[in-house]
Structure 1
């Protein structure tokens, strides 16, 4: 199932109709969200009925500002839980998956109204429980790096958005495609733009859809790029994974010996890189092993030893338990390094780095 969200900046123009029909034919989304349609009433219903979806709901624009249309078709069903000028809260039901919450968002250009959006969309107020995703045009960025020649950037407004994301326990789902989702005056040398559109989810939702990914589609007939959210990700060929040096290897005493044994000073650098790569790959399989499997084996052995010692003390078992405890501590540290390296996170929020945050970010990066 795929979702497409687009700030079309007007749904009645001929160029918009052509672009929208093209994207519906190519990407075939099950759920479609349109923002700033600038159409209401009978004309809006007529447009929705011609798009090929079985159901839809609309939040009317206030004058010519805002407006949210959400359309969907089988095999999903959307239950409307709450409507708001800047978002709609749904419960999404589809066979084979637990229900999850979805909130398509159009953030107001006015900062004081966006602050009301953060407040009204918070879990403590609306109470979305379990997996949920929020996506659309937030009209906000998290940092200056998400802008280009964007004179409207404000560190205070950015921090309000970032604080809300952190308070709600949401993670950015990342993206593939152009870095900017909104671009103004793209025909001139002074390109101005920002990443105003994005998708966020909580850890429970990420666990339900570990392969989900977001694509920034090409901008057509609007200043905004459509977001395509693929819940199952793209089908990827079963290629051999590229070599990646693992930081956890540095904790093993045999690593220098493996590199020294495979390095040959009489050959070229390229040949040595190949030799060391092959040597480390084989050593990882035969000696270092799978950290997760080793952790489970150590836990099982410790459990067996501790059950045995309850039937009678034994000095040999006591010494073995101490060694296994030490090995388990090393293994847990290696696992921590493994997840931290995969997450590529720049900061640590808690003392225990092996948290759900890093597992989720690693999943996002993989997608």
Structure 2
């Protein structure tokens, strides 16, 4: 029988009354070996973007809350729906909103249920929204995964030779790229098999040292990079993969089309332009110093988000009148 521990939290609304809560929860969670979920109203935020307004700094209680999460290596399961889970005030000048409710889990829980999501249900008469944590099936077709150039290939000693040998100069660029993509996929697959064999040898020596940490980090990062929902033009939230694809395609087709462009340009005035005054002419005719910067950019594009663009910038300056 599979066991999962569920801890429901309702923290007191004042800092003094919830003093010591994080320490008590820590002692409980540390003694749990099975998967665990901790969810509810924590009555504090974790980041500045989890509130509307404010003075731009986190309170000591929020900092202690973040330290408690880090000490237990808990994972925020994210959200679907509204950013905030609590609100007060109907008018803009008195409106306040916070993300006080959330669901956390242990690393092994996130590894065990990678596709689990937490939805923020619509607000009702209560100032708090309800949370719904549910498991979902893995969506998407892995065969439709787009081809990506891997930056690590550039460091492979045989990659440049493979690239030169595989590029067909007699073909048009689109056809040559399509053929190159097929060859790179095949070559990459062979390299993966080779490195898998090498990793098996290291596994015998190193065992599962740090494997759980890196596995969990990868899962959390993939969840952050995934688009779960989008809002269409009618204000409806779309979460079905097929509808999300159609919505994204329609958006970019419209973005790069002339559908919404106003082709009527303003005509030049027939009576001519307003003449400059004497003072304006004197200002325009004043001598000025001209600084010319010559910039050289070396652009390298990587497939990794953190290395999306790297610029090597060098500059020289000349001065003149």
Match of 1:56 in 2: none
Deviations 1:118-160 (A, max 9, x none): 1221136883343211011111222213223145963422210
The change in CA–CA distance for 1:141 and 1:243 in structure 2 (over 3 A counts) is farther
| The one of 41, 44, 50 aligned to 1:140 | 44
Contact 2:36 2:109 in 1 (8 A): yes
Query: Separation in 2 of the partners of 1:270 and 1:112?
Result: 66
Answer yes or no: is the 8 Å Cα contact 1:119–1:125 preserved in 2.
no
- How far, CA to CA, are the matches of 1:177 and 1:260 in structure 2? 49
The CA distance in 2 between the partners of 1:248 and 1:238, in whole Å, is 25
The question of whether the paired residues in 2 share the 8 Å contact of 1:123 and 1:168 is answered with: no
Match of 2:188 among 284, 290, 304: 284
Following the alignment from structure 1 to structure 2, what is the Cα–Cα distance between the partners of residues 278 and 225?
A: 49
Cα distance change of structure 1 residues 278 and 166 upon mapping to structure 2, 3 Å threshold: same
Q: Give the gaps of 5 or more residues in structure 2.
A: 224-321
Contact kept in structure 1, 2:75 and 2:110, CA below 8 Å: no
Whole-angstrom CA distance in 2 between matches of 1:265 and 1:181: 58
SS of structure 1 residue aligned to 2:18: helix
Higher RCO, Cα 8 Å, sep 6+:
1
Alignment correspondent of 2:215:
359
CA distance in 2, matches of 1:185, 1:276: 59
- The alignment status of 1:176 with 2:85, answered yes or no, reads no
Counterparts in 2 of 1:254 and 1:166: CA distance versus 1, 3 Å: same
Aligned to 1:3: none
Q: Distance in 1 between matches of 2:98 and 2:82?
A: 11
Indicate the residue corresponding to 1:236 in structure 2: 139
* Structure-to-structure mapping, 1:191-202, within 5 angstroms: 192-202=96-106
The structure whose Rg is larger is 2
- CA deviation digits over 1:43-98, x for unaligned, max 9? xxxxxxxxxxxxxxxxxxxxxxxxxxxxxxxxxxxxxxxxxxxxxxxxxxxxx41x
For the structure 1 residues 238 and 129, does the alpha-carbon distance in structure 2 shift closer, same or farther, using more than 3 Å as the test? same
- Cα shift at 1:363: 2.2
Gaps of 5+ in 1: 1-95, 304-327, 333-351
Question: Which residue, out of 100, 107, 111, partners 1:203?
Answer: 107
Report the Cα offset of residue 209 of structure 1: 2.5
Q: Deviations over 1:291-343 (max 9, x none)?
A: 445422x459xx8xxxxxxxxxxxxxxxxxxxxxxxx99xx9xxxxxxxxxxx
Which residue is equivalent to 1:10? Answer: none
State the TM-score, normalized to the length of structure 1. 0.49
How many Å apart are 1:236 and its aligned residue? Answer: 1.9
Deviation of 1:111 after TM superposition, in Å, equals 1.4
- Paired residue secondary structure (1:141): coil
CA distance in 2, matches of 1:140, 1:255: 51
Going from structure 1 to structure 2, the CA distance change for 1:170 and 1:258 (only over 3 Å counts) comes to: same
| 2:71 aligns with one of 162, 167, 175 | 167
Aligned to 1:122: 26
SS at match of 1:180: coil
Superposed CA RMSD: 3.9
Per-residue CA distance 1:258-308 (angstroms, 9 max, x = gap): 455566799998777756544432321234447445422x459xx8xxxxx
8 Å contact kept, 2:11–2:41:
yes
* Rounded Cα–Cα distance in structure 1 between residues aligned with 2:62 and 2:9: 17
Give, in angstroms, the shift of residue 225 of structure 1: 2.9
- Alpha carbons of 1:163 and 1:294: their partners in 2 closer, same or farther (altered >3 Å)? same
Report SS of the residue matched to 2:17: helix
Q: CA 1:191 to 1:127, structure 2 compared with 1: closer, same or farther past 3 Å? A: same
TM score, norm. by length of structure 2: 0.55
Across the two proteins, how many residue pairs are aligned to each other?
221
For 1:130 and 1:289, how far apart are their aligned partners in 2? 34
CA drift at 1:229: 0.8
